[in-house]
Amino acid sequence: MPIVRAEELTYTKVRQLDGNRTVCFQPVSALEVHGPHLPLGMDYYMAQWMAEETGRRFAEAHPEWTVIQLPPLPLGTDELPLAGSMNASAGTVYRAVRAHGGSLAKAGYRYVVVTNGHGGPRHAAGLEAACRAVSKKYGIQMITPSVLALHAIITGQRFEAVEAKLGRVLSEEEKANLVGGEHAGGWETSFMLAENPDLVEPGYPHLQRSAPPALRPVAALGQRFIAWRARRGHDVSQAKEILDNFARGLGWLLNAHYGYGGPVVTYQGTPAIASAALGHAFRDVMADECLQIVESVTSGRRTAQEVRSIASDPPIIQPYFWSRLAGAVAALIALVLWL
């Protein structure tokens, strides 16, 4: 039985599985507002598609393995705070995925792949931290390759691969409008046009480039820090991306709650550039990327601890950062008072 749905397994069949030749796919993404044109389930659909398509390709390449498809978990944090978004705390996402992974480990599964279509910084960081924690505690390989794979695509690092799938060269206009941030923009709108065009509002070709306002004080501080690092000869490309995203993320929250920077912003990118053909190419490259990461782990060439995206770097977005910081400050104050 190369591909099996977990909800259809009996206890007898679970006990018969070879844990060393079984890989589970677990989608985790919540419902969230995606512009005026895409369904709330955009990230949910993407996570589920990545699990099913990567699992299908893995099963074809490795018929001696069993692929288990688990039901999606509609759970996420750092959702755009507008009517329709279903947001949980960062701690809840981390604890839930960690507990879920522990249950899978106790059931005998040795390889677990968490797929995700949501780019919220604390959501991605929480998934990756939970996977590392489960892998370390139970001695299994639990990974989440999605953000690592998606980041390379949406930042323009896979244009050549996309062009090869398309069978043509991307125009300069397409390239310019497919980088610089993505939320219901060209990539995701293309994905949904390929997945289910009936779920895309017909007015999307009129939606030109949009982006959330950056929180100006944070953006200014970030620019000074980047300039300071650059003067000292450091590579600042990743730091610049992280700080820019942080400033825009804070600005987006204030925009949604208080109208900071103007009218409510519901998408980032250029939906008008989207097409079903681009969506099929995007999906194909994304599945290729995920499959390569999964195979590198199941073959032993890579460990779960080594599967990390940009979301695992900034300490400030890691699970329990603020509670641990508060605890450290409280302990320091108690120590000073005691002395």
Domains by residue range for the chain, with CATH: 3-152+280-326 (3.40.50.10310), 179-277 (no CATH)
263: DSSP letter: S
In the predicted model, what is the mean pLDDT of residues 129-156? 96
Q: What's the CA gap between 194 and 133, in Å, rounded?
A: 35
For residue range 10-68, list pLDDT tens digits in order.
999 999 999 999 999 999 999 999 999 999 999 999 999 999 999 999 999 999 999 99
pTM: 0.92
In the predicted model, what is the mean pLDDT of residues 143-168? 95
202: DSSP letter: T
327 has a pLDDT exceeding 90? no
1 has a pLDDT exceeding 60? no
- CA distance readout (Å), 147 to 95, 282, 337: 19, 14, 45
- Find where tokens 């007015």 sit: 203
How does residue 335 score in pLDDT terms, banded at 50, 70 and 90?
Answer: low
- One-letter identity of residue 92: T
In the predicted model, what is the mean pLDDT of residues 69-85? 95
